[in-house]
Amino acid sequence: MRGPHNIWRLVRTGATFERTGAMRIILDALEAPRSLRIAARVLGWPFKWLGLKGDPNMPPATRALTALGPAYIKFGQVLSTRPDVVGDDMAQQLTVLQDKLPPFTVELAKACVEEQLGRPVDSMFSEFSEPVAAASIAQVHKARLADTGEEVAVKVLRPNIERAFQKDIDAFYFAASVIEFLSPSSRRLRPNDVIEHFEGVVLGELDLRLESASASEFAANTVGDAAFQVPDVRWNYSGRRMMTLGWAEGVPLGDNAALDAAGHDRTVLGDRVLQLFLSHALRDGFFHADMHQGNLKVAANGDLIAYDFGIMGRIDEYTRRVYAEILFGFIKRDYKRVAEVHFEAGYVPADRDVDEFARALRAVGEPIFGIDASGISMGNLLSYLFEVTERFGMETRTELILLQRTMVVVEGVARSLNPHINIWQVARPVVEDYIKESIGPRAFARDLVRTLRVVARFGPRLPEMAETALIRQSQDTVAPPQPSHWRPVGYVFLGALFAGAGFWLSTLL
């Protein structure tokens, strides 16, 4: 599926942007250089007639993205949260991609529900509405459980969505391979690995049983969070292609006029969105990775309600500590420490100069420190950050893609609520609390206990492992070492133990 036939899909993509008039508008919004504009025009104009027409009632960019399919719509959703990058008008136009796409019929939705649950819809739901929201992957219906009378939200996947996504992903793989071939310098960005990561995320999003599990875990993690709600999963009414949650009643977070009319403080909401994301990422290592306005509501009492858990991010404890130290270093304006953390974590090649990297980071941090969001050009900032990563040979870290993407989206959402938000000031208490909890004597004691528990599980086998290691060592001294893919188990165990101790000592220091 990833052969040259995908050239047709890529040509049609460019032709669709040209035919709908979206090409020029998007390049203008992104302030693309003149050379790129000329190249896009030369390559797109001859094939314009091959492009998809789309819905002429939609603005050009929205029209093109919806015509091209779900993978492109995902890209548009991210841009819709960044008016500082694409402009207010385009960001507003793209908000329809969050939950206002053309729906499929309620009859198809009911047929899917019956197929998944093996019972007639009328026997399970006393009410089942027309679609109330429709996005790239699925649409939502408001329903009422027949046995309890409870209002619920029933999410149903779009028909044939799996095949549509696979076609797009195959074309993306082909494009990534072409980019790597034509531009060897792009290989540090690992285009194919990025697409592979995206494919894994999408496959998880297309199985609503996994989304139900994510919603359940997220609710358990956040049960004690003030002014935050997660709807409960109705497991008896959920399957692979549909799921049921408790109904979330509230004002959409993207409707500022409605929020103001309801008396909600948008400044408080903007702070809360950013702080909750950081808290979930750092404290739990499990966060909502699709936190655009279409997936958030505000309850009558001011609580923030999150839903749509198809894309969730997970980061391990070590990465959380690295991330927190980097954020804390920027907050404290300690750019040398930020640079050192990047080197310690392996984000920057060891042969680069740490002082030079610290200077580059200072050029990133100082212009935006203490300035509210209205005074920061995110487009210019991202452009300079890209230059820094190229200069210091930084490779794409696929394990951080969701975290970085979500941070961009969440910061955009917070800006939309309060254009003057100061992200450093808002983030500081969350990051400081995490630093206190995760780096210090108490944290060391917790880690030591966990390490001892692991060692204890191997206790009965330690004599045997030590004997095996010694025998192998004596054999190695007699015979020349043979090429092998393994190492003595005892050395692996002892090495891991000493490495762990060294890590925690370095953390304390």
Q: What is the 3-state secondary structure (H, E, C) of 351-402?
A: CCCHHHHHHHHHHHHHHHCCCCHHHCCHHHHHHHHHHHHHHCCCCCCHHHHH
Q: What is the pLDDT of residue 4?
A: 61
Q: What is the pLDDT of residue 487?
A: 40
147 Cβ neighbours under 8 A, 6+ residues apart: none
Q: How far apart are CA 37 and CA 43, in angstroms?
A: 10
Same domain, 479 and 428: no
Same domain, 447 and 432: no
Taking the CA atoms of 365, 366, 372 and 373 in sequence, report the sign of the dihedral they define.
negative
Q: What is the pLDDT of residue 19?
A: 86
Q: Does the pLDDT at position 489 exceed 60?
A: no
Same domain, 309 and 405: yes
Higher local confidence (pLDDT), 53 or 39 = 53
Same domain, 257 and 377: yes
Is residue 296 assigned to a domain? yes
Per residue in 157-183, pLDDT (tens digit) is 999 998 888 888 887 887 778 777 777
Same domain, 279 and 409: yes
> Nearest-CA neighbor of 195 among 16, 71, 380?
71
Mark which of 78, 98, 118 sits at the end of a domain.
98
Is residue 219 assigned to a domain? no
Same domain, 451 and 424: no
Average of per-residue pLDDT across 41-48? 72
Q: Does the pLDDT at position 377 exceed 50?
A: yes
Residue 316: its H or E element: none
Same domain, 363 and 478: no
Please list the active-site residues. Answer: 290
Domain count, the chain: 4
Q: Does the pLDDT at position 150 exceed 90?
A: yes
Q: Does the pLDDT at position 227 exceed 50?
A: yes
Is residue 111 assigned to a domain? no
Is residue 470 assigned to a domain? yes
Same domain, 192 and 279: no
Q: What is the mean pLDDT of the chain?
A: 82
Same domain, 399 and 457: no
Percent of the chain at pLDDT exceeding 70: 82
Same domain, 289 and 338: yes
Mark which of 412, 439, 466 sits at the end of a domain.
439
Q: How far apart are CA 290 and CA 310, in angstroms?
A: 8
- How many Cβ atoms sit within 10 Å of the Cβ of residue 103? 19
Is residue 131 assigned to a domain? no
Per residue in 325-369, pLDDT (tens digit) is 888 888 888 999 999 999 998 989 999 999 999 999 998 888 877
pLDDT grade, residue 216 (50/70/90)? very high
Is residue 13 assigned to a domain? yes
Mark which of 204, 229, 260 sits at the end of a domain.
204
Nearest-10 Cα torsion for 244, 249, 255, 258: 160
Same domain, 367 and 276: yes
DSSP state of 292: S
Same domain, 64 and 16: yes
Q: What is the pLDDT of residue 492?
A: 35
CA–chain centroid gap for 180, Å, is 24
Q: Does the pLDDT at position 88 exceed 80?
A: no
Residue 43's domain comprises 6-98
418 Cβ neighbours under 8 A, 6+ residues apart: 266, 267, 269, 270, 271, 373
Taking the CA atoms of 380, 381, 386 and 388 in sequence, report the sign of the dihedral they define.
positive
Q: What is the pLDDT of residue 33?
A: 67
Is residue 222 assigned to a domain? no
Report whether 170 contacts 148 (CB < 8 A). no
Task: Give the SS3 label for residue 1.
Answer: coil
Is residue 262 assigned to a domain? yes
Average of per-residue pLDDT across 496-500? 35
